[in-house]
Copies of this chain bind each other. A is one copy, B any other.
Amino acid sequence: MVGTGTSRAALAYLKALYALEEESPRSGARGRLGTARRVTTSAIAERLAVSAPSATNMLKRLAARDLVSYEPYKGASLTRKGRAVALEIVRHHRLLETYLVEALGVPWEEAHAEAEALESNLSESVEERMFAALGRPRFDPHGHSIPTRNGAMPKTSRRSLWDVSDGEAVLVAQVPDSHSDALRYLAEVGVLPGVRVTIESRGPIGGPLFVRVEDNEDAPVALSKEITEAIWVH
């Protein structure tokens, strides 16, 4: 299993922390080099649908095990050790998603939840077999890159579809993995990783983006600000 001796719940916190560190600060090209971006207690609590005190409580325990560095009122961040565990489980998750979709035909939008249920009990040995069976994939079905076994995470584009200017054509790199309704819709209109899309126009301030999908003669599809912010392109 993962990060031996680390409970399912603790792993969930580490994973959430990892995700929040990744997505949040964009840190405006600043704050790189060890300036560990701290994540607030409430952000974690919200992400895990747990009360704030529960989060505080768990963060303190994870800190005691040197998996996160936590300073009261200042938020938390993963230690090197905690990051390794988080990456291990992210790898499990994404590999499982890929396997479920590719090998077992699980629908795209259900893969995330199924993988989440299984990820914390997947052994390294089975993981390795799935990895080989899939041909050592580098991306999961949503376009997220799969960390390597020794915990290296390939860099990916961080430009969101929302930030693309009108008329520009870009390649979809990744879409979110949760929110199955949204995923079902994206699959339906063909906005998938690897597909080229062009911004046709956009509605008034904060309004929807009208996107033309390659090889699709239909009317452009309308996508909300929220979803286009979560779609990354290059």
Q: How large is the interface on A (under 10, 10 to 19, 20 to 34, 35 or more residues)?
A: 10 to 19
Q: Are A122 and B118 in contact (CB under 8 A)?
A: yes
Q: Are B117 and A129 in contact (CB under 8 A)?
A: no
Q: Are B118 and A121 in contact (CB under 8 A)?
A: yes
- Interface SS of chain A: helix
CA distance A85 to B95 in the complex (A): 29
A102-144 interface bits toward B, Cβ cutoff 8 Å, 1 = contact, 0 = none: 0111100010001001100111011001100100000000000
CA distance A126 to B112 in the complex (A): 12
CA distance A114 to B129 in the complex (A): 12
Determine the chain B residues whose CB is within 8 A of the CB of A104 once the complex forms. 126, 129-130, 133
CB distance from A15 to the nearest CB of B (A): 15
Closest residue of B by beta carbon distance from A105? B129
Q: Are A100 and B126 in contact (CB under 8 A)?
A: yes
- Which chain A residues have a beta carbon within 8 Å of chain B's beta carbons? 1, 100, 103-106, 110, 114, 117-118, 121-123, 125-126, 129-130, 133
